[in-house]
Amino acid sequence: MSETRYTKDHEYIRLEGETGTVGITDYAQHALGDVVFVELPQPGAQITSGAQAAVVESVKAASEVFAPVSGEVTDVNGALEGEPGAVNEDPAGRGWFFKLKLTNPSEFQSLMDEASYAAYVATLS
């Protein structure tokens, strides 16, 4: 069973066991517009919660993707190099960015759940 949490910077992390899959939310991809390039971290990289982990570029702007939790990058979505539009088409599915093995699982619990994130997004419109 997996559980998904969200940041105020519009990243999500879907936790399955000790590994979290990270990407940007539907709200973020919509705000960015058509994604044309994604720069991913290197597998094995140690990333700290809140630190820049990736970059996403769209026709509108370039934006940093921050790590929602601390951990070691175990996998990246290499398919995004050839198909960055997957971020727009399916941000929570095929458009994931990288996977992390969490080093501090309590950080995950401090993130917003789906209802809290939806309420937060509602205040932005």
Q: pTM for the complete prediction?
A: 0.96
What is the pLDDT confidence band of residue 2, given thresholds at 50, 70 and 90? Answer: confident
Q: What is the pLDDT of residues 13-31, one digit of tens each?
A: 999 999 999 999 999 999 9
- Percent of the chain at pLDDT above 70? 99
Report pLDDT for 125: 73
Contact 54, 41 (CB under 8 A): yes
Spell out the residues 6+ positions from residue 57 whose beta carbon is closer than 8 angstroms to its own: 35, 36, 37, 38, 39, 63
Q: What is the pLDDT of residues 24-59, one digit of tens each?
A: 999 999 999 999 999 999 999 999 999 999 999 999
CATH class assigned to 3-104: mainly beta
Paired with 58 in beta bridges are 35
Spatial separation of the C-alpha atoms in residues 79 and 66, rounded to whole Å: 20
Report percent pLDDT > 90 for the chain: 96
Residue 1 reports pLDDT greater than 80: no
Mapping DSSP onto H, E and C, the string for 1-52 reads: CCEEEECCCCEEEEEECCEEEEEECHHHHHHHCCEEEEECCCCCCEECCCCE
